[in-house]
Amino acid sequence: MDNNARYQNFLKNIYVGINGELYSPEDAKISVFDRGFLFGDSIYEVTYGENGKLIFFEDHIERLYNSARLLNMEIFISKEDIMKQTLQTLKAAQIPDAYVRIILTRGESELSLDPNLSYHNNLITIVKPKPIYSDKLYSHGLHLIISDVLRNDRRSTNPNAKSGNYLNNVMAHQQAKEKKADDAIMVNHEGHITEGTSFNIWCVKNGVIYTPPEKSGLLKGITRQKVIGICREKDFNLKIDNFTPEFILNADEVFITSSTKGLMPVFKLNETTINETAQDRPVMSELQKYYNKIIEIELARDEYCYF
């Protein structure tokens, strides 16, 4: 299927809300003067729902507000309205297992960098079926590369603000594809691993779990926070600390966390095979069990249901 056909196919099962109104995907458009379009001056969140129940909605909304805070972005609508509009699009879509993307821009303004010209936001909510990742990805794992596109520095464009400035990640992802890998992780200016293009990164060495700290320059993933919580509660040996490409290439286990993927193993990093079966990943397997329990509990909560 060529890219055009692929895009047309993608449009068939997608629902868009803009500022509280529902649009067909063909009509879901935004002004060319929207600052999100002109400057990437927008923030966003991605989460999903299962069986008509949205997952960790409050956490994502909380993080949306944190992104706004980091970018001094004024939010003119209420938190309740953002949540209401999101659920409205989900309800219209009638997709039980749904992916949802919430985009909030600094609205239209005359052509000027000055964000103080902003006077309203545009809120776009996009709903589509939750992507289904193959069993093989969960059992065998991902092939990642360590990109030589350095992660944006937090003193320049803070990766902890989940914004519409994603070229840095696009470039790293493209490099992975060129090398026939699934995706890429990125290093900061000090040579430390930070995060993947759209996920956090973890490794295990001699029974100790490692994940980079916020100060390395990363987005504090919701799933990352949950797994940190598990480590603390269940007395895993966790070190939130900087590590190098050399260190992770020599790890016993490597895995990622992401809102849509959960915990997913990495079988190969650059040209180095880490391991290829769940038996070789005792620590990750245990964390995964605990994480699945958290998801079960979350799914049983009778809040933020759309079906």
* Alpha helices by DSSP H, 52-123: 57-70, 79-93
Specify the residue, 118 or 285, whose C-beta has the smaller distance to its own copies.
Answer: 118
Specify the residue, 16 or 284, whose C-beta has the smaller distance to its own copies.
Answer: 16
Answer for the pair 231, 211: CB distance below 8 angstroms, yes or no. Answer: no
**Shortest distance, position 208 Cβ to its own copies, whole Å:** 30
The packing angle between helices 282-300 and 222-233, to 10°, is 110
| Four-point Cα dihedral 61, 37, 260, 168, nearest 10 | -110
Specify the residue, 149 or 228, whose C-beta has the smaller distance to its own copies.
Answer: 149
What residues does 182 pair with on adjacent strands? none
Using DSSP bridges, classify how beta strands 183-187 and 122-129 pair: parallel, antiparallel or unpaired.
unpaired
Specify the residue, 110 or 296, whose C-beta has the smaller distance to its own copies.
Answer: 110
Exposure letters 113-126 (e unless 16+ CB within 10 A, then b): eebeebeebbbbbb
Specify the residue, 216 or 288, whose C-beta has the smaller distance to its own copies.
Answer: 216
The gap from C-alpha 69 to its chain's centroid, in whole angstroms, comes to: 18
Specify the residue, 168 or 211, whose C-beta has the smaller distance to its own copies.
Answer: 168
- Site for its own copies, rule CB under 8 A: 2-4, 6-7, 10-11, 16, 18, 25, 28-34, 36-42, 71-72, 99, 101, 103, 108-111, 113-120, 124, 126, 128, 148-153, 155-157, 161, 163-171, 173-174, 177, 189, 197-198
CB atoms within 10 A of CB 163: 23
